[in-house]
């Protein structure tokens, strides 16, 4: 099917059709071509995904993945940038007509998780992570994101001459976090100018979900995923024999009181009817023998919040609680809080604008508002700079109970590949409809 030329479009307008009608007809025609293309790409995308799944790579080490992505984008005739934020790849597709710049993003990194799922393309990769030998697995579905965006890139390239704007394909490393001592992820991509030259007007991203049925799409306007921070507390006491605790200052007892004190932050200091929050103690280390009260105890944990006000309150109260409890015991506390990812915030206006696109593809009943998620996403760094929309694509087999589906970041994580075509279509249709509406 050939898209109407400028001469034909002009004739439509002269025949009495409004510009808006002509624009809508253009978008519909382009999307028809895209649908045909994405459906023809399904087997290819599944094969890509299985290859990535079988050969996962950790953050800032996605060398093979990046090379395959770059080769594909170059074969499509795009301008390609490599080595962005360590191993990131960016492809630029310039449409045949002027218009906005739309960015589409996929993350590429796997996790230090050994795979238990019995599939022919099971990961057997092992590596060393934080000094420990571990398996490596795509336990969060980033392999599916890469494959679907590669498919979307091929579909949009097939209608390049008719696109009313430019598409920037962002393949991002280290979404799960860079190795200790390194920068990485979306934050570094933004720092290196990925949203400039050409300047991005809007960005879209999806995340597969193992506990949402294939064919279903979930989203949330505004605060969608939590800001994440991490903290470390060092309690310094006075070492003594375990038989003579009165001769020292016990940092283990003090740390125990701090743990209980931290639990009051969410329950007593935050208006949780406005937004949820989480303060978790993830690890406590102290002591070496049963009969020695040690000199110090170290604690680490994570914070999740959905507003700057709650985030600031939590940071302040962690410091106050740890410092004052330690002082009351005759010990000292050192508190360090590191700000990690901001809130994943879906621009409300952009979200409202694009939901009809998803409903047209998946069916209105299959596009659902989801509660706020206490997981975090560094897609949020892109959204801090430009309007962005992040949504969740179903990857659970139809008919399966949610209670039977393995969560993300676990060895049994599993994705049904039947939703990949819908994923590709959403990325492409959002792009075309945004270009049509941004005219």
Catalytic residues: 341, 417
Three state DSSP letters for the chain: CCCCCHHHHHHHHHCCCCHHHHHHHHHHHHHHHHHHHHHHCHHHHHHHHHHHHHCCCCCCCCHHHHHHHHHHHHHCCCEEEEEECCCEEEEEEECCEEEEEEEEEEECCCECCCCCCCCCCCCCCEEEECCEEEECECCCCHHHHHHHHHHHHHHHHCCHHHCEEEEEEEEECCCCCCCCCCCCHHHHHHHCCCCCCCCCCEEEEEEEEEEEECCCEEECCEEEECEEEEEEEEEECECEECCCHHHCECHHHHHHHHHHHHHHHHHHHCCCCCCCCEEEEEEEEECCCCCEECCEEEEEEEEEECCHHHHHHHHHHHHHHHHHHHHHCCCEEEEEEEEEECCEEECHHHHHHHHHHHHHHHCHHHEEECCCECCCCCCHHHHCCCCEEEEEEEEECCCCCHHHCCCCCCCCCCCCHHHHHHHHHHHHHHHHHHHHHCC
- DSSP, collapsed to helix, strand or coil, labels residue 86 as coil
Query: Which residues, 6+ apart, have CB-to-CB distance to 198 below 8 Å?
Result: 92, 101, 166, 168
């Amino acid at each position: 099917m050939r898209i109407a030329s400028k001469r034909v479009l002009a004739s439509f307008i002269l025949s009495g059709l409004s510009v808006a009608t002509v624009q809508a007809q253009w978008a519909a025609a382009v999307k028809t071509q895209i649908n045909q293309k994405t459906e023809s790409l399904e087997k290819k995308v599944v094969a890509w995904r299985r290859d990535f799944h079988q050969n996962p790579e950790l953050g800032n080490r996605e060398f093979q993945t990046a090379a395959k992505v770059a080769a594909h984008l170059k074969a499509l005739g795009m301008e390609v940038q490599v080595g962005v934020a360590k191993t990131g790849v960016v492809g630029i597709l310039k449409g045949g007509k002027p218009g906005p710049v739309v960015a589409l993003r996929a993350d590429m990194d796997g996790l230090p998780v050994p795979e238990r799922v019995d599939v022919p393309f099971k990961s057997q990769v092992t590596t060393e992570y934080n000094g420990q030998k571990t398996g490596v697995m795509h336990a969060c579905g980033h392999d599916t994101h890469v494959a679907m965006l590669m498919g979307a890139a091929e579909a949009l390239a097939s209608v390049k001459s008719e696109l009313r704007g430019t598409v920037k394909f962002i393949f991002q490393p280290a979404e799960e976090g860079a190795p200790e001592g390194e920068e990485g992820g979306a934050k570094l991509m933004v720092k290196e100018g990925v949203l400039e030259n050409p300047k991005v007007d809007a960005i879209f991203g999806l995340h597969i979900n193992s506990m949402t049925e294939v064919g279903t799409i979930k989203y949330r306007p505004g605060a969608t995923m939590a800001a994440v921070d991490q903290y470390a507390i060092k309690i310094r006491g006075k070492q003594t024999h375990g038989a003579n605790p009165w001769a020292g200052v016990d940092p283990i007892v003090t740390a125990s009181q701090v743990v209980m004190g931290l639990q009051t932050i969410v329950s007593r200091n935050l208006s949780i009817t406005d937004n949820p929050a989480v303060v978790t103690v993830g690890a406590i280390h102290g002591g070496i023998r049963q009969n020695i009260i040690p000199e110090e105890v170290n604690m680490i944990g994570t914070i999740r919040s959905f507003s700057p006000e709650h985030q600031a309150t939590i940071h302040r109260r962690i410091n106050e609680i740890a410092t004052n409890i330690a002082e009351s015991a005759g010990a000292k506390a050192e508190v360090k809080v590191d700000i990690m990812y901001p809130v994943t915030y879906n621009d409300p206006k952009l979200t409202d604008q694009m939901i009809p696109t998803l409903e047209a593809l998946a069916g209105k009943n299959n596009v659902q508002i989801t509660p706020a998620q206490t997981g975090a996403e560094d897609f949020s760094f892109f959204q801090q700079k430009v309007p962005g929309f992040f949504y969740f694509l179903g990857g659970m087999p139809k008919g399966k109970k949610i209670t039977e589906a393995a969560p993300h970041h676990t060895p049994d994580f599993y994705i049904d590949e039947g939703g990949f075509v819908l994923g590709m279509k959403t990325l492409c249709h959002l792009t075309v409809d945004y270009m049509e509406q941004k005219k």
